[in-house]
Amino acid sequence: MAAGKIQVLAFVGAPAAGKTEAASVARELGIPVVVMGDVIREELKRRGIELSDANAGRIATELRRRYGMDAIAKRCIPYIERASERAGSEVVVVDGIRGIAEVEAFKAHFGADFMLVNIHAPLLLRYSRIKRRGRGDDSLSLAEFRRREEREIGWGMGEAMKKASVVIKNEGSLADFKAQIRELLLRSLSKHNMNMGMNMNKLHDSAKS
């Protein structure tokens, strides 16, 4: 599927803001999800390095330093296009934008079909969530969690969040948050399908003239 035919919705937010839960709603709707952190985890696995927050941060920083701050976004673009083709879906969700350079890389490739969504939640609420999450890179003290956030802000995450077209607050119940995400995704699906239909009608009219 050629670039420009895929509607990409990318979630940005501080650690444990709710990006993974938002992505799970997309999966429930049959929308494919590309997780940017999986690029880092696959690189750790390829190198035979243990999965930990420190190792993931070190490799992510190394890739950005060596190949540019948009390095991980550029690695994700083929994943997005393959996910779209495999699922037969013209809408794909991206989980885990970390910086403004990544936003610009996706915008350069997908143009107006790229939408950035900022998921917001307070720090202490987010920290309480990671202690319940049980992932290998989430066994952090509060001080370590703050340092992780500072590292990601250093990648330009704060600037990226300011560029979001939509802000969704994840401060209440999980059900309320998922309902907000579901509404956003359904609206995007409907809008994209409508735009595709209009484009097909234009092509049909052009062919007749």
For 52-61, what is the mean pLDDT? 89
Going through 114-191 in order, the beta strands assigned E by DSSP cover 114-120, 166-169
174 pLDDT more than 90 = yes
pLDDT of residue 207: 46
pLDDT bracket for residue 128 (50, 70, 90): confident
pLDDT bracket for residue 192 (50, 70, 90): low
- Identify which of 29, 11, 12, 20 has the alpha carbon closest to the alpha carbon of residue 134: 20
User: What is residue 64's three-state secondary structure?
Assistant: helix
Q: Name residue 174's amino acid.
A: L
7-208 sits in which CATH class? alpha beta
Domain limits of the chain?
A: 7-208
pLDDT bracket for residue 196 (50, 70, 90): very low
Q: Which one is predicted more confidently, 74 or 2?
A: 74
Q: Name residue 134's amino acid.
A: G
Pairing relation of β-strands 114-120 and 7-12?
parallel
Among 41-50, 130-139, 148-157, the range scoring the smallest mean pLDDT is 130-139
pLDDT of residue 193: 63
Q: Which one is predicted more confidently, 173 or 131?
A: 173
To 5 degrees, how large is the angle CA 190–CA 195–CA 197? Answer: 95
**Rounded-to-integer distance, Cα 58 and Cα 96, Å:** 17
